[in-house]
Amino acid sequence: MTQPALLVFATRYDDVTRRTHGIAQRLLASAGESGIATSALLETAAVGPGLVDALAGHPVVVAFYCHGDEEGRLLAQDRQPCWTDDRIPDLSGIAVFAHACRAIRWLTDHAAHHRARLMIGYEGDLITPANGSVRFWEIYRDVHSFIPRELAAGTDDSRIRHEFSEVCTRCLHELYKHQAGLIELVAIQQSGNEVVFA
């Protein structure tokens, strides 16, 4: 059996995670259309032990769509951290994308132990409008599925950074042209401006 290039981890238990679960679904669909081998831990399967087992297959990329807590820990479906300080998974050679508030902090804190090849995430809280338009959510799902899909396809990291910035700028202009609300514009601008590659 072929090892997946992309492992998607997505919780779903409140309004925010219902939306981020939608991003995960978009990522899985677009990766499949691109011929990228995928594996997924969704909803009740999105728990720490399952994640550790799935990571043993050494995917090229793991993409997290979940909450981050005050410390930036990635939270599983059971609302517990995806791993603990005494059971940090080996992410050697794996690129990690985390669409979760403050997640890059926790990933960076554990870098010496998990040894991920690349970590991508956000230092602050992600802004999302509770009453965003249908068009906004379509664009937001596309924006936040771009990086892990491109990494899994083998696109160069520096090219991804540049193209992601261009994608966000294009999407911002499109929303502005269609008179999107301020919070929608801020959410897309934050996506491009505040993403951290470490």
Per-residue pLDDT tens over the stretch 136-160: 999 999 999 999 999 999 999 999 9
- In this prediction, residues 51-66 reach a mean pLDDT of 95
Q: Is the pLDDT of residue 125 over 60?
A: yes
**b/e string for 15-26 if b means 16 or more Cβ within 10 A?**
ebbebbbbbbbb
The pLDDT of 57-66, averaged and rounded, is 96
Q: How confident is the model at residue 24 (pLDDT cuts 50, 70, 90)?
A: very high
Please check the confidence at residue 181 and state whether its pLDDT lies above 90.
yes
Residue 187 clears pLDDT 80, i.e. is over it: yes
Calculate mean pLDDT across residues 62-86: 94
DSSP string, 143-196: HHHHHHHHHHTT--HHHHHHHHHHHHHHHHHHHHHTT--HHHHHHHHHHHHSEE
If 0-12 CB within 10 Å is exposed, 13-18 middle and 19+ buried, where does residue 11 land? buried
Does the pLDDT at position 1 exceed 60?
A: no
Residue spans of the domains in the chain: they are 6-197
3-state secondary structure (DSSP) of residue 138: helix
So what's the pLDDT on residue 86? Answer: 84
Query: Looking at residues 72-93, what average pLDDT do you find?
Result: 93
Q: How far apart are CA 26 and CA 11, in angstroms?
A: 14
Chain-centroid distance of CA 62 in Å reads: 8
Q: Thinking of the domain 6-197, which architecture would CATH place it in? A: 3-Layer(aba) Sandwich (3.40)
In this prediction, residue 87 carries a pLDDT of: 85
Residues 6+ apart with CB under 8 A from 132: 140, 181, 183, 184, 187
Cα–Cα distance for residue pair 44/127, rounded to 1 Å: 25
User: Using only C-alpha atoms, what is the Rg of the chain?
Assistant: 16
Residue 2 scores a pLDDT above 80: no
For residue 79, pLDDT beyond 90: yes
Cα gap 76→63, rounded to integer Å = 13
Average pLDDT for residues 162-185, to the nearest whole number?
A: 95
